Amino acid sequence: MTTVTQLPPGSTTRSGTARRAYALVIGVALLALALFASVMFGSRTTSFSDVVDVLSGTAGQQVTTVIESRYPRTALGVLAGLALAVAGTLMQGVTRNSLAEPGLLGINAGASASIVTATAFWGATGNSATMWWALPGALVAGIAVQAIGSVGSSKSQVRLVLAGAVLSAMLMAYIQAVTLSKPQVFDSYRYWVVGALGGRDFDVFMAMLPFTVVGLVLAVVLGQSLNALALGDATAASLGANPWLVRGAGLVAATLLSAAATAAVGPIAFVGLAVPHVVRAVVGVDFRWQIAFSAIAGPTLLLAADVVGRVVMRPQELMVGVVTAFIGAPALLVAVRRMRGNA
């Protein structure tokens, strides 16, 4: 009689470690390629040699100005992609729902409602002002959903989904009422709500950075505890993890990450949903590896989508939120089909 032993999520094998090491090298190489492409491609044509000349300090002033103007959106793409992907990984781990993503917390709707309110009643304009108005709305919405979803039931992940859906519906109704009654607010809001990396400067990046760092540190610390939580609350408790504390800290980290990203670049869809599925297929179910690889794959996907948006309609630009939607929709369909197959 043969006994089959199932390895827990945190365990590793020599072949698994080698595969992850190869994947890490490939992931870093793809990220480097995406970074280089992000500073090379735009509405104005520049070449590989132009980028090399700028980096070496030998380029002309005009070419230098063009390429350096792409640095803020590249840096913001790295930070936003990392935040959205890691937040999606945390959401799927905390809720044990492979279709969970940052929008589940009502963060997109909260940020949108905050921006509409600030624009309509306090005259907020400009990307930096939008960032600072969107952030508190996103955080308040995320905290409210967590508070409602955690009351009085062990099935908090079910209540979390319902609370997020209800709050999002209420806020979207408010947004529609304000934007329909104030056309000038709609003109300002419609650009942000699609999601874009362009038109932002390093001030937005610096405003987003502290929240992202705190959220990422929390995510890294929670990696092993999320592995225990994946085995069930009872097993997690027997392994020394507090399921409620892990779940709460994970939701706080996901809220910080996704709120900062949404406030900075708008509600970019599907990055937080698609990246965790791809990463899980490559590195397995260990959340320590999932978080690390999501921090690489998220920026790579977002920068690649931004480059495609710049090139496909040159000299005009297709916003990155539209491109990620085209990429993410098939990923969602694949995820649903896999869930049905495993049911």
Place 221 in a pLDDT band, splitting at 50, 70 and 90.
Answer: very high
How many Cα atoms occupy the beta-carbon half-sphere of 35 within 13 Å? 13
Q: Of 191-205, 217-231, 250-264, 300-314, where does mean pLDDT reach its minimum?
A: 191-205
Residue 209: the pLDDT is 93
Full DSSP string of 254-317: HHHHHHHHHHHH----SHHHHHHHHHHHHH-S-HHHHHHHHHHHHHHHHHHHHHHHHHHTTTS-
Residue 188 lies in a domain: yes
Domain extent, residue 249, equals: 76-342
* Residue 243 scores a pLDDT above 50: yes
Numbers of helices and strands, H then E, in the chain: 14, 0
Residue 53 lies in a domain: no
- The kind and range of the H/E element at 216 are helix 202-229
Residue 37 lies in a domain: no
Average pLDDT over residues 208-227: 93
Residue 17 lies in a domain: no
**Straight-line distance from the first to the last Cα atom of the chain, in angstroms, rounded to the nearest whole number:** 29
* Residue 57 scores a pLDDT above 60: yes
Residue 132 lies in a domain: yes
Place 154 in a pLDDT band, splitting at 50, 70 and 90.
Answer: very low
Whole-angstrom distance, CA of residue 115 vs CA of residue 118:
5
Q: What is the CATH number of the domain that holds 93?
A: 1.10.3470.10
* Residue 17 scores a pLDDT above 60: yes
Average pLDDT over residues 242-262: 89
Q: Which residue has the higher pLDDT, 17 or 82?
A: 82
Of 330, 321, 217, 232, the closest CA to residue 278 belongs to 330
pLDDT digits (tens, 9 = 90+) for 117-151: 888 888 776 666 677 788 888 888 888 887 887 66
Angle between helices 156-181 and 107-122 (to 10 degrees): 30
Q: Tell me 103's DSSP state.
A: G
**Tally of domains in the chain:** 1
Radius of gyration from C-alpha coordinates of the chain: 21
Whole-angstrom distance, CA of residue 288 vs CA of residue 307:
30
* Residue 200 scores a pLDDT above 80: yes
Residue 145 lies in a domain: yes
Residue 36: the pLDDT is 93
The answer to whether residues 225 and 246 touch, using CB atoms and an 8 Å cutoff, is yes
Whole-model pTM: value is: 0.87
Question: Residue 220: CB partners within 8 Å, gap ≥ 6?
Answer: 288, 291
Residue 34: the pLDDT is 95
Full DSSP string of 183-209: HHHHHHHHHHHH--STT--HHHHHHHH
Residue 42 lies in a domain: no
Average pLDDT over residues 254-282: 88
* Residue 24 scores a pLDDT above 70: yes
* Residue 51 scores a pLDDT above 60: yes
